[in-house]
Structure 1
C-alpha cells in the first residue's frame, strides 16, 4: 500500500514514515500543498496523511482538490492538525477527509487508524454480486463504477469517491434496511473508528448531492427521524 504524507514539519513527517514503513507500507513525503498535489498527480496513493496547516495551498484546499479529481483511484484521507476545536473537525470532514487526528498523537494510534481506513474496501460489499441493479442504479463491483438512470432512460455515470461508492453499495445491498450512524460506521470503518459519528451525516449529504435528482427532497436515501437512514428505489 502506497501512502503519501503531506507534512511540513520534518520531525513529524519522519516519525510517521518510520512507523508506517515498519508495518510494511510504502511512504512518500511532500513538504507543502503544491508538492503534495504534484505527487498525487504523478502517482495517486492508496491513502494520504494530510496536515491541515501546511505552506502554500493549505490542507483543506488540497483535500477539496483531490476529491474533485476524476479517475479510478480515490485515496482515503487522514487529516492532521495541531488544532482541537470542534469546528475544525467538522470543516475537515466536510471537505472530504475520512478521518481526523489532533497533534500530538500516538504513532500506534496513527497506524491503527491507517489500517482501519485501508480495511474498508475489504469489508463493505463482499457479499454483493459483481453487478448490482435497482430501477435507477447499476453498480459494478469489479470496475468500481456506478450509474444512474432517469425517467427518460438516460444513463449518467456517477463520479463517486471511494467512500461514497462504499456507502451507496452498502445501501443498495440492503434495500429498505434502516441504518443508524453506529451501524454504518461499523460497516464502513470497522472496529477501529476513532472519529466523530457526525462524519456519517457529512458523507450522506455529499452522496445525496450526487445521486438524488433533488438533494433537498431525497428520493433514494431517506432520513428516518431519530434513527438513521434507509435506501429506497422502487
Structure 2
C-alpha cells in the first residue's frame, strides 16, 4: 500500500520565498499550500490539517510565534509539526522558538536543498518514532506522574496537565528509563533527532518547564552536575 502524500503549509509574507518553497517541495512529491500572512496561515491550517507547517518568524500583523501558539492551542491541529524560518540565528530566538513547540528551524537566506533536507529529516524522525513506539510501554506511571503515549496525555495526581510536544517526548524518554543519567547532547539526539540543530540550553529550558508542570514531583527530574539529567523513581515530596 502506497504511503499517503504528506501535506505541507508554507506561511511567509514574501511571495518570492513562497514560490521557491512551493516549487521545490512539490518536486519532492509533497502537496503544498501557501499563505502570505499569519491569519491566513491559521485559517488554512485549520482547514487542511497539514502534516507540517513551514513558518516565517518575522511577519507583519500576526507573526510566526503567534501562529505557532495558535496551532498548539488548537484542538484539531495541535500536534502539527512546525519548522521556523528566521533571519536571526542567535540563541534567544532558538530558545523562544522551541518554547513555542517548534520541531526545527532554518535561517535565512537558505538554499532550497537545505529546506528539502530538513523536511525529509523531520519526517524520517517521525516515522522512526512511530516504529519505536510499538516496542515501548503505552502508559508509564511513577509515583503521582502518569504519561500515556497513546493519547499523548500527562496526569499529575490524576489531573491532566497540558504538555507541548517536545516537553512530552522529553518526559517520556526519561520516565521510560528511570534512574539512568543522560547528557544534554544525548537528550538532544534522542528527543530532537540527530538532524536537528539546537543548543544545550534547549534541554535546560524544557526541563524547567516540565518540572514546573509536574508540581510537587518536579524534583523527580534530577540535575546531575557536569553531566545532564535523570528521572528518579524515589523523589521526595
Tell me the TM-score normalised to structure 2 length: 0.83
Structure 1 unaligned blocks of 5 or more? 150-154
In angstroms, what is the RMSD of aligned CA positions? 2.3
In the other structure, the counterpart of 1:62 is 67
Greater CA deviation, 115-124 or 182-191?
115-124
Total equivalences in the alignment: 226
* CA distance, structure 1, for counterparts of residue 121 and residue 191 of structure 2: 9
Alignment of 1:61-140 (within 5 A): 61-71=66-76, 73-124=78-129, 125-126=132-133, 127-140=135-148
Q: 1-side partners of 2:28 and 2:79: how far apart? A: 22
Q: What does residue 3 of structure 2 align with?
A: none
Task: Give the match for residue 194 of structure 1.
Answer: 197
Work out the CA distance in 1 between the residues paired with 2:146 and 2:127: 20
Matched ranges for 1:1-234 at <5 A: 1-71=6-76, 73-124=78-129, 125-126=132-133, 127-149=135-157, 155-210=158-213, 212-214=214-216, 218-234=218-234
Q: CA offsets, 1:72-119, max 9 Å, x none?
A: 741222111223444333333333323222111122222222233333
SS at match of 1:226: coil
CA offsets, 1:116-169, max 9 Å, x none?
A: 3333344455331233332223333233333222xxxxx112322222222121
Bigger RCO of structures 1 and 2 (CA < 8 A, at least 6 apart): 1
Distance in structure 2 (CA, Å) of the matches to 1:167 and 1:6 = 28
SS of corresponding position for 1:218: helix
Aligned in 2, Cα 1:176/1:101: closer, same or farther, shift over 3 Å? same
Q: 1:223 to 1:85 in 2, by over 3 A?
A: same
Go from structure 1 to structure 2 and tell me whether the alpha carbon gap of 1:205 and 1:108 turns closer, same or farther (over 3 Å shift): farther
Quote the offset at 1:71 in angstroms: 4.9
Alignment gaps of 5+ in structure 2: 1-5
Larger % of helix: which?
2
How many Å separate the matches in 2 of 1:35 and 1:83? 24
Q: Is the 8 A contact 2:180 2:230 kept in 1?
A: yes
